[in-house]
């Protein structure tokens, strides 16, 4: 049952930084999460991608307010009403020279259906590969995974047929992210996700809380908690056996509850020592 | 980190059966939970203790309806308005010859403050020791523990100073019960409870779901899931170190998700093989 028997060479990100946020990050006062993003933009250009939203009015303005005085050089909005726009030169121009991209909330399927496999997506990947920062909150957090959670019941234990997943942006591998975690009672659906394939590590992020991923390690920032569900040691599950409407059973999950200052090694699947 | 290094001779119940219910158990149709209770009453007398409620009107009637046709011989209501009544002969008479007691929901502190250390409590313990059944739903479930959860935030990750506990009836040892579990997003507070002393096993029970405890083993009944949080292997926690308003961190919790048909050995702290 040791997790160390597997090597996970793809864990984490090879270059740059991901800031993955559980939604409702503070935009006034101390703003530790926006500070983490700004620190990595280093006075450069930050693109706020509001593409997850059907009606992005007000989103960009709230981040203009949120990043005020935080050493972000230029703040521009990227919105893609129709997928065709994601290939236009004027859209790509918005991303030129950017040090970071921030995905706001909405619907993760809008992000992937509008920009997946387009030049915009390539540009975003390039920014990360050049050492930039890609941040995402709520839907923008979920979309970072290779396979992303799209839908599932909250405030209910997981029933086997409940979950809907889809291919995400794949900026981080072997991980599945859920957001608004404690607030919407989502432990059930996170367990449902990792039960399907224990290769993916389940990470549930509370509101106003983020993980900052650099290399193979993540660190927690913000006021809430992060739940890491590691199913690699699971000894028994009914996920492939029972009826679709049966409640899930899953034995021997390892669960880590992390808070600000805590770190976690994605390759070794081990918490790093706490600082708080 | 092996759980087997400790012997837990007090785990479970020595005699009789506990049916511990997460609230809102079905009272019509198939009613698997009420059936479990009725099967152990075997045509005898069942006392519905509505003492957890400040206004018990309607509770007893709903169980009259719920236990209809389920082979319960006599159904009587036990209500204690004032603690003094818990010592009166006419109150004790209600419990005479009973095969089972069913605690309805309300406030767990009303149960313990009204009947704790009274002749009523002794009678109830005696019914269990003679091989009877004690059932409890919602507040009636929480009250069964030696140390019971009284209050804590739901739908929020646990902050260190949040939890309130109190001495319970102590019908089951080394266990802490939480109810309405997935429905009210209570994983955070269950982890907060087991962090305080990993000696107690945390058991979170969904609505319309119950654990049936006999000897050292429990079995799950009903439509939802049961979460068992075993903190005995925890390697790091900030519960005694950080500020009271800091979010909890807790590394290496073992979590088991159980559903109908699953069993669990409380002494070995291991799931039994699933039947579903």
Q: Per-residue pLDDT tens, chain A, 276 aa: give them.
A: 444 456 777 888 989 999 999 999 999 999 999 999 999 999 999 999 999 998 888 999 999 999 999 999 999 999 999 999 999 999 999 999 999 999 999 999 999 999 999 999 999 999 999 999 999 999 999 999 999 999 888 888 888 878 889 999 999 999 999 999 999 999 999 999 999 999 999 999 999 999 999 999 999 999 999 999 999 999 999 988 878 888 999 999 999 999 999 999 999 999 996 543
Q: Which residues of A are catalytic, by number?
A: 138, 180, 207
| CATH class, A12-266 region | alpha beta
In a mutational test of the A interface, the residue from B24, B179, B187, B203 whose CB has the highest number of chain A CBs within 10 Å is B187
Q: Which residues of A touch B194 (CB under 8 A)?
A: none
* Distance (Å) from the alpha carbon of B215 to chain A's nearest alpha carbon: 21
Name the residue in chain B with its Cα closest to that of A207.
B156
Name the residue in chain B with its Cα closest to that of A220.
B249
Q: Which residues of B touch A158 (CB under 8 A)?
A: 225, 257
Name the residue in chain A with its Cα closest to that of B189.
A182
Q: Which residues of A touch B257 (CB under 8 A)?
A: 157-158, 191, 248-251, 253
For chain A, what is the total number of helices (H) and then of strands (E)? 7, 16
Judged by phi (left if over 0) then psi (alpha if -120 to 50, else beta), residue B59 lies in alpha
Q: Which residues of A touch B158 (CB under 8 A)?
A: 225, 257
User: Residue A186 class from Cβ within 10 Å (0-12 exposed, 13-18 middle, 19+ buried)?
Assistant: buried
What DSSP assignment string belongs to chain B? Answer: --GGGS--TTBB-SSSEEEEE-S----STT-HHHHHHHHHHTTSEEEEE-TT-SS-TTHHHHHHHHTTTS--SEEEEE--SSGGGGGSHHHHHHHTTEEEEEE-SS-HHHHHHHHTTSHHHHHHHHHHHTT-EEEEETHHHHTTBSEEEEE--SSSPPBTT--EEEE---SBBSEEEE-STTTTT-HHHHHHHHHH-TTSEEEEE-TTEEEEEETTEEEEEESSEEEEEE-TT--EE-TTTS-TTSBP-EEEEEEEEEETT-EEETTTTEEEPP--
Residue in A184, A247, A276 nearest the CB of B223 = A247
d(CA B195, CA B197): 5
State which residues of chain B have pLDDT below 70: 1-6, 273-276
Name the residue in chain B with its Cα closest to that of A269.
B252
Q: Contact B257/A250, CB-based, under 8 Å?
A: yes
Please tell me the predicted confidence (pLDDT) of residue A229. Answer: 98
* Inter-CA distances, A191 with A253, B123, B145, Å: 9, 42, 27
d(CA A36, CA A49): 18
Tokens of A76: 């521009």
Q: If you count residue pairs, one on A and one on B, with CB atoms under 8 Å apart, how many are there? A: 146
Nearest to B248 by CA among A250, A206, A156, A31: A206
- 251-270 in chain B: CB under 8 A from chain A: 251-260, 262
In a mutational test of the B interface, the residue from A223, A232, A249, A268 whose CB has the highest number of chain B CBs within 10 Å is A249
Domain regions of chain B by residue span: 12-266
Name the residue in chain B with its Cα closest to that of A259.
B249
Nearest to A227 by CA among A270, A261, A196, A258: A258
Q: Contact B262/A249, CB-based, under 8 Å?
A: yes
Residue in B247, B254, B257 nearest the CB of A254 = B254
Q: Contact A155/B182, CB-based, under 8 Å?
A: yes
Tokens of A257: 């509850």
- 137-196 in chain A: CB under 8 A from chain B: 155-158, 181-188, 191
Please tell me the predicted confidence (pLDDT) of residue A4. Answer: 47
* Inter-CA distances, B116 with B51, B60, B101, Å: 12, 22, 15
Q: Are strands B217-222 and B263-265 parallel, antiparallel or unpaired?
A: antiparallel
d(CA A57, CA A189): 31
Q: Which residues of B touch A218 (CB under 8 A)?
A: none
Please tell me the predicted confidence (pLDDT) of residue B204. Answer: 98
């Amino acid at each position: 049952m040791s997790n160390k028997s597997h090597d996970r060479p793809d864990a984490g990100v090879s270059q740059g930084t991901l800031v993955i946020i559980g939604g409702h990050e503070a935009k006034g006062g101390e703003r530790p999460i926006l500070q983490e993003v700004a620190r990595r933009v280093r006075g450069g250009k930050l693109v706020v991608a509001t593409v997850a939203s059907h009606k992005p009015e007000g989103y960009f303005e709230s981040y203009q307010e949120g990043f005020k005085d935080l050493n972000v050089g230029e703040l521009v909005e990227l919105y893609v009403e129709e997928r065709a726009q994601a290939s236009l030169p004027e859209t790509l121009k918005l991303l030129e020279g950017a040090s970071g991209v921030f995905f706001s909330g909405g619907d993760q399927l809008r992000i992937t259906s509008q920009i997946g496999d387009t030049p915009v997506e390539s540009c975003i990947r390039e920014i990360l590969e050049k050492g930039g920062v890609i941040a995402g909150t709520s839907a923008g957090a979920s979309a970072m995974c290779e396979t992303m959670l799209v839908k599932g019941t909250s405030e209910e234990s997981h029933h086997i047929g409940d979950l809907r997943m889809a291919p995400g942006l794949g900026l981080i591998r072997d991980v599945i992210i859920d957001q608004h975690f404690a607030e919407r009672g989502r432990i059930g659906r996170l367990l449902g996700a990792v039960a399907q394939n224990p290769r993916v590590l389940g990470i549930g992020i509370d509101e106003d809380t983020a993980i900052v991923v650099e290399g193979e390690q993540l660190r927690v920032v913000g006021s809430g908690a992060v739940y890491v569900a590691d199913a690699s040691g699971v000894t028994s599950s009914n996920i492939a056996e029972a009826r679709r409407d049966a409640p899930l059973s899953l034995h021997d999950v390892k669960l880590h509850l992390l808070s600000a200052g805590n770190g976690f090694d994605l390759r070794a699947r081990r918490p790093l020592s706490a600082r708080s």
